[in-house]
Homo-oligomer: A and B are copies of this chain.
């Protein structure tokens, strides 16, 4: 496997994700993607089997990366606040590495077909793991005794929207972003 040069399929996925972020999956045509690459739409089908195929790759690979990250955090030795900071770091890292893909993960998952149920399972499991961390923090006295669902909602929506904000500040220091977010988000729920 050659990791230094991008395959044609990877290029299609990358270009498509960029367009999906701008207009959404349904509004982007195969001609749009091809045109952006300087080729004709029919040529795309030598590398991918369908438009659906492109969306599947974008979303599932990212969803699995989040699942993997959460599994590592779960098995870490940190306390609850430490795990929250690890979650924040996970989102900042994956979001900044794949801004365009994060847009599809958030907005285009409903256009998945066969992989839709699998995606939803991954997402529910992720949220369950997140709530579990908060509940243990409440029990141990690290975390504010408020509804864990609302606390998770508040933190997770901020993290899920990072892809909108990261590209706006070209001078953005990722470490500083992680620090400020940790301060704000953790302070909001900590005791």
- Which residue, A22, A24, A181, has most C-beta atoms of chain B within 10 A? A24
* Bound complex: CA A108 to CA B23 (Å): 8
Interface pairs (26), CB distance under 8 Å: A23-B111, A24-B25, A24-B107, A26-B27, A27-B111, A107-B107, A144-B184, A144-B187, A146-B180, A146-B183, A150-B180, A153-B158, A153-B161, A153-B165, A154-B158, A154-B181, A154-B184, A154-B185, A157-B157, A157-B161, A157-B165, A158-B158, A184-B188, A185-B188, A187-B188, A187-B189
10 new A-B contacts, CB < 8 A, other than A146-B180, A157-B160, A187-B187, are A144-B183, A144-B184, A146-B184, A150-B181, A151-B184, A153-B161, A154-B181, A154-B184, A154-B185, A184-B189
* Interface membership of A115, Cβ < 8 A: no
> Does chain B have a CB within 8 A of A147?
yes
Q: Residue of B at shortest CB range from A27?
A: B26
Number of copies: 2
Query: How many Å from the CB of A146 to the closest CB on chain B?
Result: 5
The tally of residues in A whose CB lies under 8 Å from a CB in B reads 34
Q: Is A177 close to B, CB under 8 A? A: yes
Residues of B near A110 (CB, < 8 A) are 22-24
Which of A153-191 touch B at CB < 8 Å?
153-154, 157-158, 160-161, 164-165, 169, 177, 180-181, 183-185, 187-189
- In the complex, the chain B residue whose C-beta lies closest to that of A169 is B149
Instruction: Tell me the A75-118 residues at the B interface (CB within 8 Å).
Output: 107-108, 110-111
Instruction: Indicate with 1 or 0, residue by residue over A127-164, a CB within 8 angstroms of chain B CB atoms.
Output: 00000000000000000101101110110011011001
Closest 6 CB pairs of A and B: A188-B188, A26-B26, A157-B161, A26-B27, A184-B188, A154-B158
